[in-house]
């Protein structure tokens, strides 16, 4: 598999075409965080509902490239039902993985593991991490 | 197909790179690299201060570069201010001239074609002074047309902030006519020349431009050096925006005075090596000849456009670029997905909004891919580019885009 095939995995394309938990809610209980990347035009909003230290719900609205849209979708799907602590650990592991740093392989990234191909494309790290950074900010 | 006689002068082209990003920055010929190295290896010293040979020589070369720039655009050397780049030049005009001359009710006329550097400094001025930003409506093609300009300018217009060539569309603005009309209304015209200077002869006197800004690194020179041309009377009455060494004339405990223009705008140690390299870049451009560059580049661009017109899977946003910038997308493929395909094949394009969001809004797109043909590109480069486009179209289609 060449670098590009490793980047554009089937799961990523599937999320790009059918993004999960898409659409924002108007509910003040959700913490909302919007990040725009002016250099590429990505525009991503993540909404998180935290109750009793648990991520109860995640909503997302993303426009941009396939990697940023799919990573927002995958994020929303795997984070619902996690404890805040667990969620933060997964974000850190994921960010280390896509930035080609050492990461804790014992942490199960589930579907987000398919973004490992991003590390061969330093220019796309931002695409893969923008939603995750927005999500983590919402947990603080 | 003609052999390209210039490519051997650009060492970076030896490693399979197909470089179509000249609108972002140009490649550097050996003569420029050597001049920068000459300063660093043999003349490192500060200018306008040292009494020893190296400093004298560096000062001489620095001031010769100023004359060379002046000569290149038909100005006087005291009308040439060295800055960090076009951005710094335009900010200097906005923050020194703009902030001190505009008032509530005044208008700044600009366009959606502007690079952010020709727009945001004036938004800053508008916010500071209460002046208003007004836009010249673009033609359907996205051009600045004279009629639209005439219909928008008014007695309230104090500044026209406008590009000579658009960094996204490559369109040439009818600058001479615009400046003449602006002057009838008493407006000052500030030109962003960053995308023009490397393609067409610029004569600031014939244009009658009040300010004209450009960058060394887009015209084969080093990064870190920019130029602001300003009419002598305007520069003379403007205040510096940076204070420090070399610009001061006399310093007392509670006050100070400054030197004449342009030195009053060049506080601190300037990028001396880059200035010296810039002179070599101008000499190189003169030796090749802007006319030759234009003709070669136009032929190659026409060759590209003919091929692009036969391609189905791309959307080209500017079919008639005056300076051979081509801006496009693969149909249904976000530009940042497409760019990864090209970069894997060592093809340098640019993806995104190119610091010009408003023209993307105008085109009703999020982002685009941009390439530029310059004289060190070859017919083979274009063949590789178009073949790669075809492959990319298929590749992304198969993925399901």
Which chain B residues touch A41 with a CB distance below 8 Å? 335, 352-353, 357, 360, 366-367
Q: Is the pLDDT of residue B335 over 60?
A: yes
Where do the domains of chain A lie? 3-139
Judge: B395–A124 Cβ closer than 8 Å, yes or no.
no
User: How far does B355 lie from chain A, in Å, by closest CA?
Assistant: 7
Average pLDDT, chain A: 94
Assess whether the region B7-20+289-399 and the region B31-286 belong to the same CATH fold.
no
* Positions of E strands within A52-104: 54-63
Domain at B31-286, CATH class: alpha beta
Which chain A residues touch B351 with a CB distance below 8 Å? 40
**What does the pLDDT look like over B103-155, one tens digit per residue?**
999 999 999 999 999 999 999 999 999 999 999 999 999 999 999 999 999 99
Cα–Cα distance, B374 to B379 (Å, whole number) = 11
Q: List the one residue out of B301, B398, B391, B396 whose CA is nearest residue B347.
A: B391
Share of chain A above pLDDT 70, in %: 99
A127, closest residue in chain B (CA to CA): B336
Chain A contact present for B358, CB below 8 A: no
Judge: B340–A124 Cβ closer than 8 Å, yes or no.
yes
Chain A contact present for B353, CB below 8 A: yes
- Give kind and range of the element (H or E) at residue B110: strand B107-110
Residue carrying the six token digits 């060049």: B266
B355, closest residue in chain A (CA to CA): A39
Residue B1 banded pLDDT, cuts 50, 70, 90: low
**What does the pLDDT look like over B355-364, one tens digit per residue?**
999 999 999 9
Instruction: Provide the pLDDT for residue B2.
Output: 62
Q: The domain at A3-139 falls in which architecture? A: Alpha-Beta Complex (3.90)
The Cα-based distances of B33 to B15, B27, B376 in angstroms read: 17, 10, 16
Q: List the one residue out of B319, B296, B325, B309 whose CA is nearest residue B386.
A: B309
Out of 3.90.1150.10, 3.40.50.300, 3.20.20.80, 3.30.360.10, select the CATH number for domain B7-20+289-399: 3.90.1150.10
**What does the pLDDT look like over B66-75, one tens digit per residue?**
999 999 999 9
Where do the domains of chain B lie? 7-20+289-399, 31-286
Judge: A40–B344 Cβ closer than 8 Å, yes or no.
no
Q: List the one residue out of B335, B374, B376 whose CA is nearest residue B354.
A: B335
Judge: B351–A40 Cβ closer than 8 Å, yes or no.
yes
The Cα-based distances of B226 to A87, B68, B229 in angstroms read: 48, 14, 10
Average the pLDDT over A14-32 and give the result. Answer: 96
Judge: B353–A7 Cβ closer than 8 Å, yes or no.
no
Cα–Cα distance, B280 to B1 (Å, whole number) = 29
* Three-state secondary structure readout of B80-103: EEEECCHHHHHHHHHHHHHHHHCC
Q: List the one residue out of B112, B91, B122 whose CA is nearest residue B226.
A: B91
Instruction: Provide the pLDDT for residue B143.
Output: 97
User: How far does A50 lie from chain B, in Å, by closest CA?
Assistant: 32
**What does the pLDDT look like over B241-261, one tens digit per residue?**
999 999 999 999 999 999 999
């Amino acid at each position: 598999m060449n670098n590009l095939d490793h980047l554009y995995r089937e799961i990523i394309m599937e999320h790009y075409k059918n993004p999960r938990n898409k659409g924002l809610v108007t509910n003040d209980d959700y913490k909302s965080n919007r990040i725009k990347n002016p250099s590429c035009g990505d525009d991503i909003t993540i909404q998180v509902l935290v109750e009793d230290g648990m991520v109860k719900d995640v909503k997302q609205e993303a426009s941009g490239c396939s990697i940023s849209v799919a990573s927002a979708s995958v994020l929303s799907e795997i984070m619902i039902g996690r404890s805040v602590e667990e969620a933060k650990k997964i974000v850190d592991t994921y960010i280390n993985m896509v930035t080609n740093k050492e990461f804790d392989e014992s942490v199960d990234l589930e579907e987000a593991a398919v973004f490992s191909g991003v590390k061969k494309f330093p220019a796309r790290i931002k695409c893969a991490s923008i939603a995750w950074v927005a999500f983590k900010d919402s947990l603080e | 197909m003609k052999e390209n006689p210039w490519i051997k002068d650009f060492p970076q082209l030896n490693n399979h790179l197909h470089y179509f990003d000249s609108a972002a920055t140009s490649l550097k010929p050996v003569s420029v690299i050597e001049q920068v190295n000459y300063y660093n290896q043999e003349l490192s010293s500060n200018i306008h201060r040292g009494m020893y040979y190296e400093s004298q020589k560096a000062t001489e070369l620095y001031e010769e570069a100023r004359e060379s720039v002046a000569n290149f655009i038909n100005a006087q050397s005291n009308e040439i201010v060295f800055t960090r780049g076009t951005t710094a030049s335009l900010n200097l005009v906005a923050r020194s001239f703009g902030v001190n001359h505009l008032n509530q009710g005044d208008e700044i006329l600009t366009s959606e074609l502007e690079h952010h550097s020709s727009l945001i400094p004036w938004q800053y001025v508008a916010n500071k002074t209460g002046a208003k930003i007004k836009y010249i409506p673009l033609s359907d093609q996205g051009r600045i047309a004279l009629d639209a300009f005439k219909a928008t300018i008014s007695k309230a217009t104090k500044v026209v902030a406008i590009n000579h060539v658009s960094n996204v569309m490559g369109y040439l603005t009818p600058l001479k006519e615009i400046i003449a009309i602006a002057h009838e209304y008493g407006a000052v015209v500030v030109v962003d020349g960053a995308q023009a200077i490397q393609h067409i002869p610029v004569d600031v006197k014939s244009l009658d431009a009040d300010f004209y800004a450009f960058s060394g690194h887009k015209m084969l020179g080093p990064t870190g050096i920019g130029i602001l041309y300003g009419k002598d009377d305007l520069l003379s009455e403007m205040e510096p925006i940076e204070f420090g060494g070399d610009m001061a004339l006399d310093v007392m405990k509670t006050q100070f005075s400054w030197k004449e223009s342009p030195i009053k705008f060049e506080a601190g140690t300037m990028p001396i090596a880059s200035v010296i390299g810039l002179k070599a870049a101008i000499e190189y451009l003169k030796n090749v000849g802007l006319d030759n560059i234009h003709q070669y580049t136009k032929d190659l661009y026409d060759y590209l456009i003919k091929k692009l017109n036969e391609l189905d899977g791309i959307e080209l946003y500017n079919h008639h670029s005056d300076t051979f910038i081509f801006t496009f997308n693969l149909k249904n493929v976000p530009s940042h997905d497409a760019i990864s395909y090209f970069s894997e094949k060592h093809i340098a394009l640019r993806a995104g909004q190119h610091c010009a969001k408003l023209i993307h809004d105008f085109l009703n797109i999020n982002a685009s891919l941009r390439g530029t043909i310059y004289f060190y590109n070859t017919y083979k480069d274009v063949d590789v580019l178009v073949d790669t486009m075809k492959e990319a179209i298929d590749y992304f289609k198969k993925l399901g885009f």
